[in-house]
Structure 1
Amino acid sequence: MSIIAEAPGYIQVFSDGTVKRFEPEISTASIEPCNGYKSKDVVIDPLKPIFGRMYLPESSVLHQQFPVLVYFHGGGFCIGSTTWLGYHIFLGDLSVASKCIVLSVDYRLAPENRLPTAYEDCYSALEWLINNLEIEPWLKRAYLSQVFLSGDSAGGNIVHQVAIRAIRSEVFCGRLKGLLPIHPYFGSEKRTELEMANGSAGDVEMNDMFWRLSLPRGSNRDYFGCNFENAELSMAEWSLFPAVIVFVAGLDFLKERGVMYAEFLKKKGVKTVKVVEAEEQVHVHHVFHPESEATRLLQSQMSDFINSF
């Protein structure tokens, strides 16, 4: 049995289809207040299964209502979890900074569950919000007329796909106010200048490996979930697209794709599109360094965007 795909320290895929994942440090949820927020794990769909972790900021205002931020973790669609310590700290602190209820989603992973499974699972998390308003106590504090979607890397890609489904839904179209993709993970069969540059071979190889593991069998990188230019939306649907702020990192190999995504949205007539760059930062730095000055700045920028509505 041989290894056919590997991201050292994270995942190994073997020739018989077996997948081995290596989990980094994780954190448990706690309904006891910690650093200004409470957290707890929820079951979104026990049959698939899909899980989530919620964060509720403390408030001195009785019965205060909070906007809701739904967050999708990264990991090339193949790794990652709501339980990873970096995500737990980042999202808990973000809930405090932004005064939002945060729902972090554990969707099913590839290659066992190839795309579009992640998109379907993450959209079902939006449906869970509506269906559990009277069941989940924390959602009684939720102001579901202001819903935001965010995620990093593959999660930033998921943000785009879930938003498309949401604007086609009578339930969510008016509720979805903004998208906050962080270092989004896109691609295409056509290589970009950076991907063809000297010294990029390692990054290209790793990206291609994750796409091979996550794309539907028989698909290439022009699959609509990889190449955002192949999304089939009418101009009327594009006119309903919410405001978007795209976060990119100056030292990130995927920065070029993030900027291209923002320019694409502008050409489609999306009214509010902004790019914010963390100049000296690497890909998903906020997960690896959730308490750094750069992460605090990111949380502040996200909070300003959310609170502008």
Structure 2
Amino acid sequence: MSPSITKPVQILAKAQSFQTIFSHPKMSIVAEAPGYLQVFSDGSVKRFAPETVAASADPSKEFNSKDIVVDPSKPVTARIFIPTAPTSPNSQLPVIVYFHGGGFCIGSTTWQGYHLFLGGLSVVSQSVVFSFDYRLAPEHPLPAAYDDCYDSLEWLSRAADSEPWLQRADLSRVFLSGESAGGNIAHQVVVRAIRNEACGVGIKGLLSIHPFFGSEERTEREMDKESTNEVEMNDMFWGLSLPEGSSRDYYGCNFEAETAAGLGCDEWRRFPATAVYVAGKDFLKERGVMYAEFLRRKGVRVVRLVEAEGESHVYHLFGPESEATGLLLKQMTAFVHGC
């Protein structure tokens, strides 16, 4: 891959109707995330899914899971996780809404890493966990993911009376979370909820894991020659996901541009308590630290920056049962129950 790949891929993503199909062998690859995604010169997209796990309600397990359809017209689906044996059987449980990452182009709540991590999160935090899928780029460039994920909160509020698995969910204590692009989405959903003044649920906190942001201006690490591969991969995903004609200073990429998007001082003070989790070996650590500092400058009342030293990007998905992931689950639990 090279930096020049971004522009033609962006044009293809907006000018053609993409389908997830196997491309004709004569078509050349114009964008690739090895092992996950290929975009071909005819506009077709081929995705490779890692191991997936089916939802199940098994009383012998620590948690149960269930798949639901949120919006059949798009379609948008979700997976619900609940602890099998809650420690307080008669109490209402907080709700954690999780948005998966994948550069806005790949990912699914059915992937094994997500299933195990989020099931574990429901047990450790004693919470109802919703993991929402959303439409992916390049077929559906931004703001499609933001639209779907914001709408998912409104669906959650409407489904409270009809979905049996929501009977113990306390929708006045909702926490948004996500890793990488999902952390970006969680931020945008909070901003939209504040701007609209209502989304049907009470958002009490934001837990952003290794958030995926960027800008036209390069950071010090991004200008380091040793980071060339990471920069090119990030540019590729932004090129596939940004709206036509947008640069990396699009508000969804560059959080500093949020001031132009319209939150005033009083609105920033309504931003929920936020925990930003970064990993010591993660190329995106720099952007995560900048994001936490940005929120503090805006007057957000609680902003915590938590680093996992010696860990890499989304380590909790590649090692959902590791010691480091166990610590992350405890840290997230403490934040949820401390808000």
What TM-score does the superposition give when structure 1 sets the normalisation length?
0.98
Give the C-alpha shift of residue 168 in structure 1: 2.6
Match of 1:139 in 2: 166
Q: Does 1:125 align with 2:155?
A: no
Match of 1:195 in 2: 222
C-alpha change, 1:280 and 1:106, in structure 2 (3 Å) is: same
Q: Report if the CA contact (8 A) 2:87-2:126 is conserved.
A: no
Q: Residue 49 of structure 1 aligns to which amino acid in structure 2?
A: P
Please list the CA deviations of residues 267-291 of structure 1 after superposition, one character each: whole Å capped at 9, or x if unmatched: 0000100100001000000000000
Classify the secondary structure of the residue corresponding to 1:166. helix
Q: Does 1:230 align with 2:257?
A: yes
Match of 2:243 in 1: 216
Q: Give, in whole Å, the separation in 1 of the partners of 2:308 and 2:88.
A: 34
Give the C-alpha shift of residue 63 in structure 1: 3.5
Q: Report if the CA contact (8 A) 1:173-1:240 is conserved.
A: no
Q: Give, in whole Å, the separation in 1 of the partners of 2:183 and 2:86.
A: 29
5+ residue gaps, structure 2: 1-26
Q: Report if the CA contact (8 A) 2:113-2:319 is conserved.
A: yes
Match of 2:14 in 1: none
Q: Report if the CA contact (8 A) 2:176-2:205 is conserved.
A: yes
Aligned length: 309
Please list the CA deviations of residues 113-140 of structure 1 after superposition, one character each: whole Å capped at 9, or x if unmatched: 0000000001111011101011100111
Match of 2:23 in 1: none
Match of 1:2 in 2: 28
Q: Give, in whole Å, the separation in 2 of the partners of 1:75 and 1:128.
A: 23
Q: How does 1:89-100 map to 2 (within 5 A)?
A: 89-100=116-127
Please list the CA deviations of residues 225-262 of structure 1 after superposition, one character each: whole Å capped at 9, or x if unmatched: 00001112111210110000000000000000000000
Alignment partner for residue 242 of structure 1, among 265, 272, 289?
A: 272
Classify the secondary structure of the residue corresponding to 1:207. helix
Alignment partner for residue 105 of structure 1, among 127, 132, 150?
A: 132
Identity %: 63
Q: Does 1:295 align with 2:295?
A: no
Please list the CA deviations of residues 40-84 of structure 1 after superposition, one character each: whole Å capped at 9, or x if unmatched: 001110101100000011325443311100000010000000000
Q: How does 1:141-220 map to 2 (within 5 A)?
A: 141-172=168-199, 175-220=202-247
Q: Report if the CA contact (8 A) 2:153-2:200 is conserved.
A: no
Alignment partner for residue 20 of structure 1, among 31, 37, 46?
A: 46
Q: Give, in whole Å, the separation in 2 of the partners of 1:33 and 1:305.
A: 28
Alignment partner for residue 62 of structure 2, among 25, 32, 36?
A: 36
What TM-score does the superposition give when structure 2 sets the normalisation length?
0.89
